[in-house]
Every structure is written in structure tokens, then in C-alpha cells.
Structure 1
Amino acid sequence: MDQEVREFVRLIDAAERIVVFTGAGISTESGIPDFRSPGGIWTKQTPIDFSDFMRSDDARRETWRRRFAMEPILRQAVPNRGHRAVAELIRTGKAAAVITQNIDGLHQDSGIPDEKVIELHGNTTYAHCLECFTRYEIEALRVDFENDRIVPHCACGGWVKTATVSFGQSMPINEMRRAERETLLADLFIVIGSSLVVYPAAGFPELAKRNGSALVILNLQQTGLNEVADLVLNRSIGDTLGAVVGVD
């Protein structure tokens, strides 16, 4: 066990209430492409703004085409060693919550209860009506779309969209409040796989540090908060977390 890992273990052992904050980097090891990094999805296609989705049938159809094109990747993805290590921190009570920017549901698939996962950017594994919030399953929508090119809509007349937060769409108020509350209670805030460039989500590590929490950043690339963090590890997420927590 090298010095960085030993220090990480020491910080976890000393903490009474940990909050874990995850970004795309933890899921790339499960085969889910990053959005922002070089070669990521958004370097190949421009994101569709929420206002365009609401205004244009073509934008709605393209939004759903992209989502269904991702289905084989999402269906095959399973939690990796990093997800399992985070789940172990929750299971043992060391970590109180996971705040995530990810939309893949892999934290829940790793065994973390829904109430312990705060999804700042929503979840793409299901859809809901933007008016009445009726839930829809992706597979049923995909069949209709591929057979008849039907853009999903609800019986109430509202448009159906994946339960994610698109560009130009308001952040979920309840999740933001829960994330702030957990952040202010943390004495150790662990950032995993996030570049910390997407706000307001990236403001939570800053808030934790200002509030007196220790801050650990585990990410392959540099972030804007490296200089104020108590520990920075630019290394593999799964292998590092697995070694720290003791999970294969």
C-alpha cells in the first residue's frame, strides 16, 4: 500500500460522516462513454437544448434517436470495482450519501438504496411525462419509436422525456436541497471521477471545503480544486478505491 492510498485510508478511518460525489469517470470503467472529455460524446454531436426539445418535433425525435442508440451500451454496463467500493462505504455506514452527476443508475445497481443516491442530473434508465410526471419504461417507448417513429407523449398531452436534466432545463430543487444538506453535514467529502467544471453541481465540493470538511479528489485529470484539496490522487478509480475500501 503506497503513501497516497495509506493517507486516503487514514482520512476515511478518521471521518464520522462521509459524502461521496461522483462524475463520469467512475462509469467509464463500466464502458459508458464520457460526455465532455476529448473524444467524448459532446465532441461528436452538439447537445440538444431543452427549449429546442419543447419547441421542435425534429429536436424531440433526434433526442430520442440518440437515447435509443445508447441503449446497447447502457444495457450491458454493470457496476465496476469503484461502484462496489462506494456501495461498501454506504453499507458500513461510513458514507451517508452519494451525490452524483451520472445518469446511468449504476450506483443503485451496485446495491445502494435509492434514498442514499442524490441524482443531480437525473436518470436516463427511465422516462417521465414533463407535465404529470407519469413514469415510462424505456423499452416500451423504444419499440413504438423504432416501429412507427412515434415521438413519446403522454395520455395527458405532455411530452415524455428521459428523466434527465438537459441543457437549459432547471436543476431539480429537491435534489439540490438534499445535496446541500448532506454536504454541510460531511466531515470528509470525496470527489470521484469528476472534472468539477459543471456548475452548480461542482459547487458542492467547494461548499464542503469552506464548511470545514476534508476534501479528497480521485480523478485521472486535474481539476480546478486540486490546490485546495487535502489529498489528490490522479490514478485509476476502481483499483484505487478497491484497495482503499478492501473490495475486489
Structure 2
Amino acid sequence: MSATPAARRPLIAALTGAGISTDSGIPDYRGPNGLWRREPDAEKLVTYRYYVADEEIRRRAWVMRRDVGAAFAEPNPGHRALVELERAGVPLRVLTQNVDGLHQKAGLPDRKVFELHGTAQQVVCLGCGERGTMAAVLERVAAGEGDPPCRECGAVLKPATVMFGELLDPVVLDKAQAVAAACQVFLAIGSTLQVHPAAGLVDIAVAAGARLIVVNATETPYDHVAEEVIREPISASLPGLVRRILAGEFG
């Protein structure tokens, strides 16, 4: 079967969660072996009020980020499958709950990736707003700084991610909602679809008539409205799904 001509290809929105990055060595949070299940107290490390108030929480948070290794992780076949889709000329926008930057590292243009929860590739000063790279701060942690302060003003540094207790960037969220409302196919990949407002993007897409495909290891609250649910590992199943899209199976 020949690929669908680019002019007729539907707009694809892909909401990606932690499950797409587990094969890159980054643990998920709410899955059967997720970080929150193994160490419930770890949620404090990414909760804004605890992080700002407690130096020991910040020390533990920097160690966690050093050990998780998101700053040095590499894309896996799941990330690369979405790049293949985009490079084939399919209109694609990725709405990601992830902060690892692996979609861009795999080759997707920045303008096609909407990072709903910010990025762990950068840090931001809570005093002066100065930004820097996560890699540089983790080098300071490795050198013995437990809670590295901002080198410009001495205030607290935090990852440029949206912590629990913080609001999503309204500009990014508005753009993601517009994509969800306009797409013809909505892929929910590696997300439990339990965290709002990101999960609410599925509601917007379905209400607008999009075909929903869920690719996730465990059940989600939206499986019952999905046209298809895929339980196989993402690195193995997503390349096959992309081939089906390119063959025109979804319009």
C-alpha cells in the first residue's frame, strides 16, 4: 500500500508521558515499578513548597537528578519513530509531559514540541531568574556542592521544570489545547492519563472528533473511548504504529 500523499495526511497530536522514555533509562513515576511506588517520599523532591523551604530536600533532589541521568540519556526507538513520522511530511505536534528533552535530541524541531512540564535540561534561579544548563549544575554536585546556589545572586536554583504546586506555562498550555482541538488523530503514548491539565487534552481531542489511540503498559481512564489500545512495549510497538500511519491507515 502506498503512503498517503502529504496534502491529505491528518494532523497528528502525540501526547507523550514517562513511558516513552523508560527504555532510555529514565524511570517512570506512577507505573508498577515507578519511582513514587518504590519511594513515596520522593514526591517531596519535586514539590515546590518542600523544595523551596528545605535545604535537605534540595540536596536529595540534586542527587536524584544526578542518579536518574536524564541530562545524559539518549533517545530510543520510540522517540525516533515520531521523528520518522515528522520527516515523512506528516503534520505532527508532540505535547509532552516529559522534561528530558529526548524528542528534540532525537531530531524533532523545537517548534513542534510543546513541553507542558518544562525542561530538566536547564535550571532557573528563583532569585534573579538567571538560566543555565542542568549538566553544568550536576558537575558542581559531582564536585561536592550539595545545594549549588546561583552564581549570579546566590539564591536557590531549581530545575526549569513545573514542580507539584506550580502552574503550567499558560502560553504552552494554550498552544497544546489548540493542537488537541485541531488534530484528526490523537496518540496518547506512555502516559497514565491521570495528571491534569495534560490529561484533559484527550478530552478536547475526543470532543472535537479526533481518533484516539492509547499506547501504554497499563490501563488508563480513557481506554474505553479509544479506537485502539496497544499494550506492547513502546519501543517495539510505536515504530509499527508509525508504519501504519504512513501507509494511510488513519486517513
Which residue in the other structure is 1:30 paired with? 24
2:235 corresponds to 1:241:
no
Superposed CA RMSD in Å reads 2.5
Of all paired residues, the percent bearing the same amino acid is 37
Out of 21, 34, 46, the residue aligned to residue 15 of structure 2 is 21
The whole-number CA distance in structure 2 between the counterparts of 1:110 and 1:222 is 27
| Counterpart mapping for 1:35-114 below 5 A | 35-45=29-39, 46=41, 47-48=43-44, 49-71=47-69, 74-75=71-72, 77-114=73-110
Give the TM-score, by structure 1 length: 0.86
Aligned to 1:29, what secondary structure does the other structure show? helix
Please name the residue that 1:5 is paired with.
none
Unaligned runs of 5+ in 2: 245-251
Alignment partner of 1:226 is 2:223: yes
Amino acid at match of 2:17: G
Letter in structure 1 aligned against 2:92? A
**What is the CA distance between 1:157 and its match in structure 2?**
4.5
Unaligned runs of 5+ in 1: 1-8
SS at match of 1:196: coil
Give distance in 1, aligned partners of 2:95 and 2:16.
Answer: 6
Q: Which amino acid aligns with 1:98?
A: V
Aligned to 1:122: 118
Secondary structure of the residue that 1:182 maps to in structure 2? helix
Contact in 1 for aligned 2:71/2:120 (Cα 8 Å): no
How far did 1:207 drift? 1.0
Q: Tell me which residue corresponds to 1:4.
A: none
Aligned to 1:160: 157
Code of the residue aligned with 2:223 in structure 1: it is N
Distance of aligned partners of 1:95 and 1:204 in 2 relative to their CA distance in 1, 3 Å threshold: same
Question: Does structure 1 residue 184 correspond to structure 2 residue 181?
Answer: yes
2-structure distance, mates of 1:87, 1:126: 23
1:190 and 1:147 map into 2 onto residues whose CA distance is 42
Amino acid at match of 1:83: H
Query: Aligned equivalents of 1:80 and 1:95: distance in 2?
Result: 21
Higher mean C-alpha deviation, range 212-221 or range 129-138: 129-138
* C-alpha contact (below 8 Å) 1:20/1:95 kept by paired residues: no
How big is the shift at 1:150? Answer: 4.7
Q: Which amino acid aligns with 2:31?
A: S
CA distance in 2, matches of 1:144, 1:18: 41
Secondary structure, aligned partner of 2:24: coil
Following the alignment from structure 1 to structure 2, what is the Cα–Cα distance between the partners of residues 186 and 116? 14
What amino acid is aligned across from residue 14 of structure 2 in structure 1?
Answer: V
How many residue pairs end up in the alignment? 237
Could you say which residue in structure 2 is the equivalent of 1:173? 170
CA distance in 2, matches of 1:133, 1:74: 21
Aligned 8 A contact 2:26 2:68 in 1:
no
What secondary structure is seen at the aligned counterpart in 2 of 1:59? helix
TM-score by length of 2: 0.85
Determine the C-alpha separation between the residues in 1 that align with 2:113 and 2:127: 24
Q: CA deviation at 1:211?
A: 1.3
Task: Measure how far apart 1:148 and its partner are.
Answer: 4.0
Cα deviation code 1:180-228 (max 9, x no counterpart):
1111111111111111111111110111001111111111211111111
In structure 2, C-alpha distance between the alignment counterparts of 1:85 and 1:167, rounded to whole Å: 30
**Of the candidates 129, 134, 140, which is equivalent to residue 130 of structure 2?**
134
Residues 68 and 31 from structure 1, CA distance in 2 versus in 1: closer, same or farther, beyond 3 angstroms? closer
